[in-house]
Amino acid sequence: MTITQQDVELSELARGFLSREVHYLFIDGERVPAVSGNTLSTSAPSTGEVLARFSSGDSSDVDLAVAAARRAFKGEWSTWTPYQRQALLIRVAQVLDERFEELAQIEALDMGSPISRVRNSKQGLMRMLSFFAAQALSISGETLTNGIPGNVSTMTLKAPVGVIGGIIPWNGPLNSQFWIIGAVLASGCTTVLKPAQYASLSVLRVAEILHEAGVPAGVLNVVTGRGSEAGTALAAHTDVDRVAFTGSTETGQKIIEASTSNIKKLQLELGGKSADIICADANLDKAVPAAAMGVFANSGQVCYAGTRVLVQRSVVDQFTERLLEYMTTLRVGHSLDSAATLGPVISESQLDTVLSYVDVGVSEGAELLYGGERLGAGGGYYMQPTVFGSVTNQMRIAREEIFGPVLSIIPFDDIEDAIEIANDSDFGLGGAVWSENLSTALRVVQGVHTGTMWVNCYGYIDPLVGFSGTKLSGYGAKGTAAHMDTYLYTKSVYIQL
Protein backbone atom coordinates (compact mmCIF):
# COMPACT_ATOMS: atom_id res chain seq x y z
CA MET A 1 0.00 0.00 0.00
CA THR A 2 1.49 3.33 -1.09
CA ILE A 3 0.73 6.90 -0.04
CA THR A 4 -1.06 9.00 -2.65
CA GLN A 5 -0.04 12.63 -3.13
CA GLN A 6 -1.76 16.02 -3.11
CA ASP A 7 -3.79 16.91 -6.19
CA VAL A 8 -5.93 19.78 -4.84
CA GLU A 9 -4.55 23.30 -5.14
CA LEU A 10 -5.20 25.65 -2.25
CA SER A 11 -7.63 28.48 -2.87
CA GLU A 12 -6.36 32.04 -2.62
CA LEU A 13 -8.37 32.59 0.57
CA ALA A 14 -7.04 29.46 2.27
CA ARG A 15 -3.49 30.24 1.19
CA GLY A 16 -3.77 33.79 2.50
CA PHE A 17 -5.04 32.63 5.88
CA LEU A 18 -2.38 29.94 6.26
CA SER A 19 0.42 32.36 5.31
CA ARG A 20 -0.07 34.49 8.43
CA GLU A 21 3.03 34.65 10.61
CA VAL A 22 1.00 33.98 13.76
CA HIS A 23 -2.68 33.11 14.21
CA TYR A 24 -3.88 35.16 17.15
CA LEU A 25 -6.68 34.56 19.64
CA PHE A 26 -10.13 35.90 18.75
CA ILE A 27 -11.60 37.90 21.64
CA ASP A 28 -14.38 40.50 21.59
CA GLY A 29 -14.41 40.62 17.79
CA GLU A 30 -10.65 41.21 17.46
CA ARG A 31 -7.55 39.17 16.69
CA VAL A 32 -5.27 39.59 19.70
CA PRO A 33 -1.97 37.97 20.78
CA ALA A 34 -1.78 35.98 23.98
CA VAL A 35 -1.02 38.08 27.06
CA SER A 36 2.21 36.13 27.51
CA GLY A 37 3.18 36.51 23.86
CA ASN A 38 3.80 32.76 23.71
CA THR A 39 3.07 30.75 20.59
CA LEU A 40 2.82 27.10 19.57
CA SER A 41 3.32 25.43 16.22
CA THR A 42 1.08 22.94 14.48
CA SER A 43 2.24 20.40 11.90
CA ALA A 44 0.40 19.13 8.86
CA PRO A 45 -0.24 15.42 9.54
CA SER A 46 0.21 14.63 5.84
CA THR A 47 3.81 15.88 5.76
CA GLY A 48 4.98 16.39 9.34
CA GLU A 49 6.05 19.92 8.37
CA VAL A 50 5.11 23.00 10.39
CA LEU A 51 1.87 24.36 8.98
CA ALA A 52 1.32 27.41 11.18
CA ARG A 53 2.04 29.13 14.48
CA PHE A 54 -0.71 30.24 16.82
CA SER A 55 -1.01 32.05 20.14
CA SER A 56 -0.68 29.93 23.26
CA GLY A 57 -3.33 31.27 25.60
CA ASP A 58 -3.50 30.65 29.32
CA SER A 59 -5.67 31.63 32.28
CA SER A 60 -5.07 35.37 31.67
CA ASP A 61 -6.44 35.10 28.15
CA VAL A 62 -9.36 32.97 29.32
CA ASP A 63 -10.19 35.70 31.86
CA LEU A 64 -10.27 38.30 29.07
CA ALA A 65 -12.39 36.09 26.79
CA VAL A 66 -14.88 35.19 29.52
CA ALA A 67 -15.19 38.87 30.49
CA ALA A 68 -15.90 39.76 26.83
CA ALA A 69 -18.50 36.98 26.63
CA ARG A 70 -20.17 38.19 29.83
CA ARG A 71 -20.34 41.80 28.56
CA ALA A 72 -21.88 40.62 25.32
CA PHE A 73 -24.40 38.45 27.17
CA LYS A 74 -25.55 41.44 29.24
CA GLY A 75 -25.38 43.91 26.35
CA GLU A 76 -27.32 44.48 23.15
CA TRP A 77 -27.22 40.76 22.30
CA SER A 78 -29.63 40.16 25.19
CA THR A 79 -32.26 42.28 23.42
CA TRP A 80 -32.23 40.27 20.17
CA THR A 81 -35.57 38.61 19.45
CA PRO A 82 -35.87 34.93 18.47
CA TYR A 83 -36.58 36.07 14.91
CA GLN A 84 -33.35 38.09 14.83
CA ARG A 85 -31.32 35.15 16.14
CA GLN A 86 -32.93 32.85 13.58
CA ALA A 87 -32.15 35.32 10.79
CA LEU A 88 -28.53 35.44 11.97
CA LEU A 89 -28.28 31.63 11.85
CA ILE A 90 -29.70 31.62 8.33
CA ARG A 91 -27.16 34.26 7.29
CA VAL A 92 -24.36 32.24 8.92
CA ALA A 93 -25.45 29.18 6.93
CA GLN A 94 -25.39 31.17 3.69
CA VAL A 95 -21.91 32.52 4.35
CA LEU A 96 -20.53 29.11 5.32
CA ASP A 97 -22.06 27.60 2.21
CA GLU A 98 -20.14 30.16 0.13
CA ARG A 99 -16.87 29.78 2.07
CA PHE A 100 -16.96 26.04 2.74
CA GLU A 101 -14.24 25.04 0.27
CA GLU A 102 -11.78 27.43 1.92
CA LEU A 103 -12.64 26.01 5.34
CA ALA A 104 -12.49 22.43 4.07
CA GLN A 105 -8.97 22.94 2.74
CA ILE A 106 -7.81 24.48 6.03
CA GLU A 107 -9.39 21.62 7.98
CA ALA A 108 -7.90 18.92 5.74
CA LEU A 109 -4.39 20.33 6.02
CA ASP A 110 -4.56 21.01 9.75
CA MET A 111 -6.32 17.84 10.89
CA GLY A 112 -5.36 15.37 8.15
CA SER A 113 -8.84 14.19 7.20
CA PRO A 114 -9.18 13.52 3.44
CA ILE A 115 -10.58 16.52 1.58
CA SER A 116 -13.32 14.35 0.09
CA ARG A 117 -14.54 13.43 3.57
CA VAL A 118 -14.54 17.05 4.72
CA ARG A 119 -16.43 18.14 1.63
CA ASN A 120 -19.00 15.42 2.20
CA SER A 121 -19.61 16.79 5.71
CA LYS A 122 -21.02 20.03 4.32
CA GLN A 123 -24.54 18.67 4.01
CA GLY A 124 -24.50 17.65 7.66
CA LEU A 125 -23.33 21.11 8.70
CA MET A 126 -26.13 22.75 6.74
CA ARG A 127 -28.68 20.45 8.41
CA MET A 128 -27.25 21.35 11.81
CA LEU A 129 -27.58 25.08 11.17
CA SER A 130 -31.15 24.62 9.90
CA PHE A 131 -31.95 22.69 13.08
CA PHE A 132 -30.63 25.43 15.36
CA ALA A 133 -32.36 28.12 13.31
CA ALA A 134 -35.62 26.29 14.03
CA GLN A 135 -34.72 25.96 17.71
CA ALA A 136 -34.40 29.74 17.99
CA LEU A 137 -38.19 29.94 17.56
CA SER A 138 -38.98 26.89 19.69
CA ILE A 139 -37.85 28.04 23.14
CA SER A 140 -40.92 28.10 25.36
CA GLY A 141 -42.16 27.49 28.86
CA GLU A 142 -45.46 26.14 30.15
CA THR A 143 -48.59 27.37 31.87
CA LEU A 144 -49.14 25.01 34.81
CA THR A 145 -51.98 24.21 37.16
CA ASN A 146 -51.25 24.38 40.89
CA GLY A 147 -52.72 23.51 44.26
CA ILE A 148 -52.23 26.89 45.93
CA PRO A 149 -55.34 28.33 47.62
CA GLY A 150 -56.59 31.57 46.09
CA ASN A 151 -56.24 33.01 42.61
CA VAL A 152 -52.62 32.20 41.72
CA SER A 153 -51.39 31.64 38.16
CA THR A 154 -48.22 29.62 37.60
CA MET A 155 -45.91 29.10 34.65
CA THR A 156 -42.35 28.35 33.68
CA LEU A 157 -40.00 30.35 31.45
CA LYS A 158 -36.86 29.26 29.60
CA ALA A 159 -33.93 31.68 29.62
CA PRO A 160 -30.34 31.60 28.30
CA VAL A 161 -27.97 30.44 31.01
CA GLY A 162 -25.07 32.78 30.19
CA VAL A 163 -21.49 32.03 29.16
CA ILE A 164 -20.77 28.61 27.68
CA GLY A 165 -17.27 27.11 27.76
CA GLY A 166 -16.80 24.94 24.69
CA ILE A 167 -13.85 22.53 24.52
CA ILE A 168 -13.56 21.03 21.04
CA PRO A 169 -11.76 17.83 19.92
CA TRP A 170 -9.18 17.63 17.15
CA ASN A 171 -10.86 14.90 15.10
CA GLY A 172 -13.27 17.19 13.20
CA PRO A 173 -13.40 20.72 14.63
CA LEU A 174 -14.87 22.39 11.54
CA ASN A 175 -18.26 20.75 12.10
CA SER A 176 -18.12 19.86 15.80
CA GLN A 177 -17.78 23.50 16.89
CA PHE A 178 -21.28 24.17 15.54
CA TRP A 179 -22.91 21.89 18.11
CA ILE A 180 -21.91 24.73 20.46
CA ILE A 181 -22.06 27.79 18.19
CA GLY A 182 -25.46 26.82 16.79
CA ALA A 183 -26.98 26.40 20.24
CA VAL A 184 -25.39 29.64 21.48
CA LEU A 185 -26.82 31.68 18.61
CA ALA A 186 -30.24 30.03 18.95
CA SER A 187 -30.48 30.49 22.74
CA GLY A 188 -28.95 33.93 23.26
CA CYS A 189 -25.96 32.64 25.23
CA THR A 190 -22.34 33.58 24.49
CA THR A 191 -19.29 31.34 24.33
CA VAL A 192 -15.57 30.94 24.72
CA LEU A 193 -14.23 28.11 22.58
CA LYS A 194 -11.02 26.24 23.32
CA PRO A 195 -10.05 24.18 20.24
CA ALA A 196 -7.62 21.28 20.49
CA GLN A 197 -3.94 22.12 20.32
CA TYR A 198 -3.48 19.83 17.31
CA ALA A 199 -6.30 21.36 15.23
CA SER A 200 -7.20 24.99 15.94
CA LEU A 201 -7.06 26.70 12.57
CA SER A 202 -10.56 26.07 11.21
CA VAL A 203 -12.07 27.25 14.51
CA LEU A 204 -10.13 30.53 14.37
CA ARG A 205 -11.12 31.06 10.73
CA VAL A 206 -14.79 30.37 11.43
CA ALA A 207 -14.79 32.93 14.27
CA GLU A 208 -13.50 35.60 11.88
CA ILE A 209 -15.99 34.69 9.15
CA LEU A 210 -18.96 34.65 11.53
CA HIS A 211 -18.01 38.05 12.92
CA GLU A 212 -17.97 39.38 9.36
CA ALA A 213 -21.38 37.75 8.85
CA GLY A 214 -22.88 39.73 11.74
CA VAL A 215 -22.26 37.76 14.95
CA PRO A 216 -21.79 40.56 17.52
CA ALA A 217 -18.41 41.09 19.18
CA GLY A 218 -18.00 39.00 22.32
CA VAL A 219 -20.68 36.45 21.45
CA LEU A 220 -18.08 34.07 19.99
CA ASN A 221 -14.51 34.06 21.37
CA VAL A 222 -11.65 31.61 20.72
CA VAL A 223 -8.67 30.95 22.98
CA THR A 224 -6.09 28.56 21.53
CA GLY A 225 -3.33 26.87 23.50
CA ARG A 226 -2.54 23.84 25.60
CA GLY A 227 -5.36 21.95 27.23
CA SER A 228 -3.47 21.90 30.53
CA GLU A 229 -3.42 25.70 30.54
CA ALA A 230 -6.27 27.29 28.57
CA GLY A 231 -8.57 24.28 28.71
CA THR A 232 -8.20 23.75 32.44
CA ALA A 233 -8.70 27.47 33.11
CA LEU A 234 -11.89 27.53 31.04
CA ALA A 235 -13.38 24.44 32.69
CA ALA A 236 -12.73 25.80 36.18
CA HIS A 237 -13.64 29.44 35.53
CA THR A 238 -16.23 30.65 38.02
CA ASP A 239 -17.87 33.01 35.51
CA VAL A 240 -18.49 30.23 32.98
CA ASP A 241 -22.00 28.92 33.52
CA ARG A 242 -21.94 25.67 31.53
CA VAL A 243 -19.32 23.55 29.74
CA ALA A 244 -19.73 21.45 26.60
CA PHE A 245 -16.85 19.04 26.05
CA THR A 246 -16.03 16.36 23.52
CA GLY A 247 -12.88 14.31 24.05
CA SER A 248 -11.34 11.51 26.06
CA THR A 249 -12.94 10.00 29.13
CA GLU A 250 -9.84 10.82 31.19
CA THR A 251 -10.06 14.52 30.33
CA GLY A 252 -13.82 14.45 30.86
CA GLN A 253 -13.30 13.22 34.40
CA LYS A 254 -10.97 16.16 35.05
CA ILE A 255 -13.57 18.57 33.68
CA ILE A 256 -16.18 17.09 36.01
CA GLU A 257 -13.82 17.82 38.92
CA ALA A 258 -13.15 21.36 37.67
CA SER A 259 -16.88 22.03 37.28
CA THR A 260 -17.35 21.92 41.05
CA SER A 261 -15.90 25.46 41.25
CA ASN A 262 -19.38 26.84 40.62
CA ILE A 263 -21.43 23.64 40.08
CA LYS A 264 -21.52 23.90 36.29
CA LYS A 265 -23.90 21.75 34.32
CA LEU A 266 -22.00 19.72 31.71
CA GLN A 267 -22.56 18.15 28.31
CA LEU A 268 -19.94 15.43 27.82
CA GLU A 269 -19.28 13.26 24.78
CA LEU A 270 -16.40 11.01 25.78
CA GLY A 271 -14.69 7.82 24.64
CA GLY A 272 -16.20 4.80 22.99
CA LYS A 273 -15.58 1.17 22.08
CA SER A 274 -18.67 0.50 20.03
CA ALA A 275 -19.85 -2.96 18.98
CA ASP A 276 -20.90 -3.47 15.34
CA ILE A 277 -22.84 -6.76 15.37
CA ILE A 278 -22.99 -8.83 12.16
CA CYS A 279 -25.65 -11.55 12.36
CA ALA A 280 -25.59 -14.70 10.22
CA ASP A 281 -28.44 -13.42 8.05
CA ALA A 282 -26.85 -10.00 7.41
CA ASN A 283 -26.49 -8.70 3.88
CA LEU A 284 -22.70 -8.89 3.65
CA ASP A 285 -22.63 -6.86 0.44
CA LYS A 286 -23.67 -3.91 2.59
CA ALA A 287 -22.35 -4.93 6.00
CA VAL A 288 -18.71 -5.52 5.02
CA PRO A 289 -17.89 -2.07 3.58
CA ALA A 290 -20.03 -0.31 6.18
CA ALA A 291 -18.37 -2.14 9.08
CA ALA A 292 -14.94 -1.39 7.61
CA MET A 293 -15.62 2.33 7.19
CA GLY A 294 -17.36 2.37 10.57
CA VAL A 295 -13.80 1.93 11.86
CA PHE A 296 -11.52 3.37 9.19
CA ALA A 297 -13.38 6.61 8.42
CA ASN A 298 -11.20 9.51 9.56
CA SER A 299 -8.43 6.94 10.15
CA GLY A 300 -10.32 5.54 13.12
CA GLN A 301 -10.36 8.90 14.88
CA VAL A 302 -14.10 8.92 15.60
CA CYS A 303 -15.52 8.58 19.10
CA TYR A 304 -18.29 6.18 18.05
CA ALA A 305 -16.14 4.08 15.68
CA GLY A 306 -17.38 0.48 15.61
CA THR A 307 -13.98 -0.99 16.41
CA ARG A 308 -15.39 -4.18 17.96
CA VAL A 309 -16.90 -6.03 15.00
CA LEU A 310 -18.88 -8.92 16.47
CA VAL A 311 -19.54 -11.58 13.82
CA GLN A 312 -21.76 -14.63 14.26
CA ARG A 313 -19.52 -17.67 14.25
CA SER A 314 -21.17 -19.38 11.29
CA VAL A 315 -20.21 -16.50 8.96
CA VAL A 316 -16.89 -15.38 10.50
CA ASP A 317 -14.77 -16.93 7.75
CA GLN A 318 -16.93 -15.53 4.96
CA PHE A 319 -17.06 -12.08 6.54
CA THR A 320 -13.30 -12.04 7.14
CA GLU A 321 -12.49 -13.09 3.57
CA ARG A 322 -14.70 -10.38 2.12
CA LEU A 323 -13.38 -7.77 4.54
CA LEU A 324 -9.77 -8.50 3.56
CA GLU A 325 -10.75 -8.17 -0.10
CA TYR A 326 -12.31 -4.80 0.67
CA MET A 327 -9.16 -3.65 2.45
CA THR A 328 -7.25 -3.76 -0.83
CA THR A 329 -9.54 -1.05 -2.26
CA LEU A 330 -8.65 1.54 0.41
CA ARG A 331 -6.26 4.33 -0.55
CA VAL A 332 -4.15 6.03 2.10
CA GLY A 333 -2.98 9.44 1.05
CA HIS A 334 -2.31 13.12 1.50
CA SER A 335 -5.29 14.97 2.95
CA LEU A 336 -5.45 17.10 -0.21
CA ASP A 337 -5.61 14.08 -2.50
CA SER A 338 -9.21 13.99 -3.69
CA ALA A 339 -9.06 10.21 -4.22
CA ALA A 340 -7.70 9.27 -0.78
CA THR A 341 -9.96 7.11 1.39
CA LEU A 342 -7.88 7.50 4.54
CA GLY A 343 -5.51 10.26 5.58
CA PRO A 344 -2.82 10.27 8.27
CA VAL A 345 -3.50 10.18 11.99
CA ILE A 346 -3.24 13.50 13.78
CA SER A 347 0.31 13.39 15.18
CA GLU A 348 3.50 11.41 15.66
CA SER A 349 2.55 10.65 19.27
CA GLN A 350 -0.87 9.37 18.24
CA LEU A 351 0.72 7.19 15.57
CA ASP A 352 3.08 5.74 18.19
CA THR A 353 0.13 5.03 20.46
CA VAL A 354 -1.79 3.19 17.74
CA LEU A 355 1.26 1.16 16.72
CA SER A 356 1.82 0.19 20.34
CA TYR A 357 -1.68 -1.32 20.41
CA VAL A 358 -0.76 -3.46 17.40
CA ASP A 359 2.08 -4.90 19.49
CA VAL A 360 -0.31 -5.41 22.39
CA GLY A 361 -2.79 -7.27 20.19
CA VAL A 362 -0.13 -9.62 18.83
CA SER A 363 1.29 -10.26 22.29
CA GLU A 364 -2.18 -11.13 23.64
CA GLY A 365 -2.70 -13.75 20.94
CA ALA A 366 -4.84 -11.91 18.40
CA GLU A 367 -4.13 -12.77 14.75
CA LEU A 368 -2.87 -9.83 12.69
CA LEU A 369 -4.70 -10.33 9.40
CA TYR A 370 -3.92 -7.07 7.62
CA GLY A 371 -1.80 -3.95 8.05
CA GLY A 372 -0.35 -2.98 11.39
CA GLU A 373 2.59 -0.93 10.14
CA ARG A 374 3.54 2.67 9.54
CA LEU A 375 3.44 3.77 5.93
CA GLY A 376 6.16 5.87 4.33
CA ALA A 377 9.70 6.62 5.35
CA GLY A 378 8.85 9.44 7.75
CA GLY A 379 7.29 12.83 7.27
CA GLY A 380 3.56 12.20 7.39
CA TYR A 381 1.83 10.21 10.13
CA TYR A 382 0.43 7.43 7.97
CA MET A 383 -0.60 3.96 9.10
CA GLN A 384 -1.92 0.94 7.30
CA PRO A 385 -5.54 0.20 8.18
CA THR A 386 -5.33 -2.84 10.43
CA VAL A 387 -7.49 -5.93 11.00
CA PHE A 388 -7.19 -8.39 13.87
CA GLY A 389 -8.89 -11.79 13.97
CA SER A 390 -9.26 -14.32 16.79
CA VAL A 391 -9.93 -11.48 19.23
CA THR A 392 -11.61 -12.05 22.59
CA ASN A 393 -13.47 -9.34 24.41
CA GLN A 394 -11.02 -9.49 27.31
CA MET A 395 -8.05 -8.35 25.24
CA ARG A 396 -6.91 -4.74 25.62
CA ILE A 397 -7.48 -4.05 21.93
CA ALA A 398 -11.15 -4.91 22.55
CA ARG A 399 -11.51 -2.95 25.79
CA GLU A 400 -9.48 0.25 25.36
CA GLU A 401 -10.15 3.10 22.95
CA ILE A 402 -7.29 3.06 20.41
CA PHE A 403 -8.49 6.01 18.32
CA GLY A 404 -6.80 4.76 15.19
CA PRO A 405 -7.50 2.52 12.17
CA VAL A 406 -7.63 -0.80 14.03
CA LEU A 407 -10.55 -3.25 13.63
CA SER A 408 -11.04 -6.31 15.85
CA ILE A 409 -13.20 -9.27 14.75
CA ILE A 410 -14.85 -10.98 17.73
CA PRO A 411 -16.93 -14.13 17.08
CA PHE A 412 -20.24 -14.76 18.87
CA ASP A 413 -22.60 -17.74 19.03
CA ASP A 414 -26.15 -16.37 19.31
CA ILE A 415 -27.95 -13.07 19.87
CA GLU A 416 -27.82 -13.31 23.65
CA ASP A 417 -24.07 -13.90 23.42
CA ALA A 418 -23.66 -10.85 21.15
CA ILE A 419 -25.61 -8.62 23.53
CA GLU A 420 -23.56 -9.83 26.50
CA ILE A 421 -20.27 -9.15 24.69
CA ALA A 422 -21.44 -5.73 23.50
CA ASN A 423 -22.45 -4.74 27.03
CA ASP A 424 -19.20 -6.02 28.55
CA SER A 425 -17.55 -2.63 28.14
CA ASP A 426 -16.97 0.47 30.22
CA PHE A 427 -18.25 2.55 27.30
CA GLY A 428 -21.70 3.11 25.85
CA LEU A 429 -21.58 5.57 22.97
CA GLY A 430 -22.60 3.84 19.74
CA GLY A 431 -23.35 0.44 18.26
CA ALA A 432 -25.01 -1.31 15.35
CA VAL A 433 -26.67 -4.55 14.29
CA TRP A 434 -26.89 -6.07 10.82
CA SER A 435 -29.75 -8.51 10.25
CA GLU A 436 -32.49 -9.08 7.67
CA ASN A 437 -34.82 -10.08 10.52
CA LEU A 438 -36.46 -7.05 12.16
CA SER A 439 -37.27 -8.98 15.35
CA THR A 440 -33.61 -9.98 15.73
CA ALA A 441 -32.45 -6.43 15.12
CA LEU A 442 -34.85 -4.96 17.67
CA ARG A 443 -33.82 -7.54 20.29
CA VAL A 444 -30.27 -6.28 19.91
CA VAL A 445 -31.30 -2.61 19.89
CA GLN A 446 -33.24 -3.08 23.11
CA GLY A 447 -30.57 -5.23 24.74
CA VAL A 448 -27.40 -3.23 24.10
CA HIS A 449 -26.72 -0.54 26.71
CA THR A 450 -25.52 2.37 24.59
CA GLY A 451 -26.60 5.90 23.69
CA THR A 452 -27.08 5.35 19.94
CA MET A 453 -27.80 2.27 17.82
CA TRP A 454 -27.87 1.84 14.06
CA VAL A 455 -29.67 -0.97 12.20
CA ASN A 456 -28.26 -2.08 8.82
CA CYS A 457 -26.23 1.15 8.62
CA TYR A 458 -23.54 2.91 10.61
CA GLY A 459 -22.73 6.45 11.68
CA TYR A 460 -25.78 8.50 10.62
CA ILE A 461 -26.18 11.59 12.82
CA ASP A 462 -29.07 14.04 12.52
CA PRO A 463 -29.81 16.81 15.05
CA LEU A 464 -33.54 16.09 14.71
CA VAL A 465 -32.91 12.61 16.15
CA GLY A 466 -29.96 13.33 18.42
CA PHE A 467 -26.90 11.51 19.70
CA SER A 468 -25.73 10.78 23.23
CA GLY A 469 -23.77 8.39 25.39
CA THR A 470 -24.01 6.49 28.63
CA LYS A 471 -21.60 4.86 31.11
CA LEU A 472 -18.04 6.22 30.64
CA SER A 473 -19.03 7.68 27.27
CA GLY A 474 -20.59 10.70 28.96
CA TYR A 475 -23.99 12.29 29.22
CA GLY A 476 -26.06 15.10 27.76
CA ALA A 477 -27.70 15.04 24.34
CA LYS A 478 -26.43 16.46 21.09
CA GLY A 479 -29.44 17.31 18.98
CA THR A 480 -33.20 17.36 19.72
CA ALA A 481 -34.75 19.88 22.09
CA ALA A 482 -32.77 18.24 24.91
CA HIS A 483 -29.58 19.72 23.43
CA MET A 484 -30.86 23.21 24.18
CA ASP A 485 -31.35 22.36 27.86
CA THR A 486 -27.59 22.77 28.35
CA TYR A 487 -27.92 26.38 27.16
CA LEU A 488 -31.14 27.28 29.00
CA TYR A 489 -32.43 27.22 32.55
CA THR A 490 -36.01 26.94 33.77
CA LYS A 491 -37.56 29.71 35.85
CA SER A 492 -40.74 28.97 37.79
CA VAL A 493 -43.16 31.91 38.08
CA TYR A 494 -46.01 32.44 40.59
CA ILE A 495 -48.45 35.30 39.99
CA GLN A 496 -50.97 36.38 42.62
CA LEU A 497 -54.02 37.68 40.70
Enumerate domains of the chain plus CATH numbers.
Answer: 10-270+473-494 (3.40.605.10), 275-462 (3.40.309.10)
Instruction: Kindly report, residue by residue over 137-150, the tens digit of the pLDDT.
Output: 999 999 999 999 99
Q: What is the mean pLDDT of residues 252-257?
A: 94
SS (H, E, C) the chain: CCEECCCCCCCHHHHHHHCCCCECEEECCEEECCCCCCEEEEECCCCCCEEEEEECCCHHHHHHHHHHHHHHHHCHHHHCCHHHHHHHHHHHHHHHHHHHHHHHHHHHHHHCCCHHHHHHCHHHHHHHHHHHHHHCCCCCCEEECCCCCCCEEEEEEEEECCEEEEECCCCCHHHHCHHHHHHHHHHCCEEEEECCCCCCHHHHHHHHHHHHHCCCCCCEEECCCCHHHHHHHHHHCCCCCEEEEECCHHHHHHHHHHHHHCCCEEEEECCCCCEEEECCCCCHHHHHHHHHHHHHHHHHCCCCCCCEEEEEHHHHHHHHHHHHHHHCCCCEECCCCCCCCECCCCCHHHHHHHHHHHHHHHHCCCEEEECCCEECCCCCCEECCEEEECCCCCCHHHHCCCCCCEEEEEEECCHHHHHHHHHCCCEECCEEEECCCHHHHHHHHHHCCCCCCEECCCCCCCCCCCECCEECCEECCECHHHHHHHHEEEEEEEEEC
**What was the pLDDT predicted at 83?**
98
Residue 1 has pLDDT above 80, yes or no: no
**What was the pLDDT predicted at 5?**
85
**What was the pLDDT predicted at 4?**
81
Q: What is the mean pLDDT of residues 206-223?
A: 98
Whether the full predicted model's pTM is greater than 0.85, yes or no, is: yes
Residue 228 has pLDDT above 80, yes or no: yes
Q: What is the mean pLDDT of residues 457-482?
A: 95
Residue 7 has pLDDT above 90, yes or no: no
Instruction: Kindly report, residue by residue over 413-447, the tens digit of the pLDDT.
Output: 999 999 999 999 999 999 999 999 999 999 999 99
**What was the pLDDT predicted at 453?**
98
Instruction: Kindly report, residue by residue over 445-455, the tens digit of the pLDDT.
Output: 999 999 999 99
**What was the pLDDT predicted at 379?**
86
Instruction: Kindly report, residue by residue over 375-386, the tens digit of the pLDDT.
Output: 987 789 999 999
Q: What residues are annotated to the active site? A: 269, 303
Q: What is the mean pLDDT of residues 72-88?
A: 98
Instruction: Kindly report, residue by residue over 313-333, the tens digit of the pLDDT.
Output: 999 999 999 999 999 999 999
